[in-house]
Amino acid sequence: MNELHHHTAPFGQEASPRADKVTHWVIDETHADQRIDNFLLKLAKGVPKSHIYRILRSGEVRVNRGRVDATYRLCVGDMVRLPPLRLAVRQTTVIPPALEFPILYEDESLLVIDKPAGVAVHGGSGVSYGVIEQLRRARPQAKFLELVHRLDRETSGILLLAKKRLALVALHEQMRNGEVDKRYLACVSGVFPQVREHLKFPLLKYHTQEGERRVRVQEDGQYAHTVVKRLEIFKQFSLLEAQLKTGRTHQIRVHLAHYGYPIVGDDKYGDFALNRELTKARASLGFRRMFLHAHRIGLQHPSHGGLLELEAPLSSACQTFLHHIRAEDERCQNGHLT
């Protein structure tokens, strides 16, 4: 009789598919409403994606003894039959440290943290691990923990994580429908001319010759819309609030740079000469990051539907930078008056 597995541990921990025999998996609420192909791709890490889709097409994967296609969504109690799989030899991996982050909100469905700048949200592209891997290590009892969205490595602020699959699905639907209000604070080079401006530049992803991912404004790119509100202006800088109407990769950074007001400290789309000048002239400030911060979010709670509004305070480094340029402007103004 085939061995029966009740898979309740987070992927990559206690349970794994067998290379030598058929295995069975009973679906609980942690994996309910997930597509069967996505379930298998996470379950059988190390197995080529093409092989997963081949065994689905051939009927070797069965749900409740019947064939299903790749789009089938799992239900609580489903019995998934998985044929023997030959796993690829795994490379030596770095074990992430167990680490918690400042918590802005938490309940049984949702975890909201204040992500520091300089920390990736997940491993990959030369990064061994990120926020999600460290949180999973810190919370071994968690049956489910997934990123709802992403922030660039150098962007700080509000990051949503789902503790239940149904919460993840509900939040993704809100984001697709444009129902999540996400606002960022950005300090840019130059005096922004408008109190309020709608930036609508289509964005196209591409890769540099070195293989790095980049985004540029291009006519045949994806529609992208950012609403910019001017909060404060200085002699050489502006403090802005950027509201995302769409959620494209690097959207705020590319939109502002294309409009002529690059974000301070942006090492991909910024004013590189200014960044070098700031590093030298203001080294005593210790400001060595990009000034982009996810500071406010509004959404419907994925479980009870009530309005949830959260804010993340600016880091001390960003506050110190603003205090410094305010003081510089004041000194210049007083010198001019005298």
What pLDDT is stored for residue 15 in this prediction?
A: 46
User: Within 13 Å of residue 101, how many CA atoms lie on the same side as its CB?
Assistant: 27
Q: Which CATH number fits domain 103-337: 3.90.870.10, 3.40.640.10, 3.30.2350.10, 1.10.40.50?
A: 3.30.2350.10
Instruction: Tell me the Ramachandran region of residue 91: left when phi exceeds 0, alpha when psi lies from -120 to 50, beta otherwise.
Output: beta
Residue 319 identity (one-letter amino acid)? Q
Cβ-Cβ contacts under 8 Å for 64 (sequence gap 6 or more): 78, 79
What pLDDT is stored for residue 212 in this prediction?
A: 80
What pLDDT is stored for residue 275 in this prediction?
A: 82
pLDDT averaged over consecutive 10-residue blocks of the chain (338 residues)? 37 48 84 87 81 89 91 91 70 78 97 96 80 95 94 96 95 94 97 97 87 90 97 96 96 97 94 81 70 97 95 93 90 66
Nearest-CA neighbor of 184 among 117, 242, 112?
242
| Torsion angles phi and psi, residue 115, rounded to 5 | -75, 130
Q: What's the start-to-end Cα distance of the chain, in Å?
A: 93
Classify residue 249 as exposed, middle or buried by CB count within 10 Å of its CB (0-12, 13-18, 19+): middle
Cβ-Cβ contacts under 8 Å for 59 (sequence gap 6 or more): 67
Q: What percent of the chain has pLDDT over 70?
A: 88
Q: Residues 249, 268: contact at Cβ < 8 Å?
A: no
What pLDDT is stored for residue 24 in this prediction?
A: 87
Whether 152 is catalytic = yes
Cβ-Cβ contacts under 8 Å for 92 (sequence gap 6 or more): none
Domain with CATH 3.10.290.10 in the chain: 4-82
**Active-site residue identified among 37, 78, 114, 152:** 152
Q: Which CATH number fits domain 4-82: 3.10.290.10, 3.30.420.10, 2.60.120.380, 3.40.50.10490?
A: 3.10.290.10
CB atoms within 10 A of CB 41: 14
Domain with CATH 3.30.2350.10 in the chain: 103-337
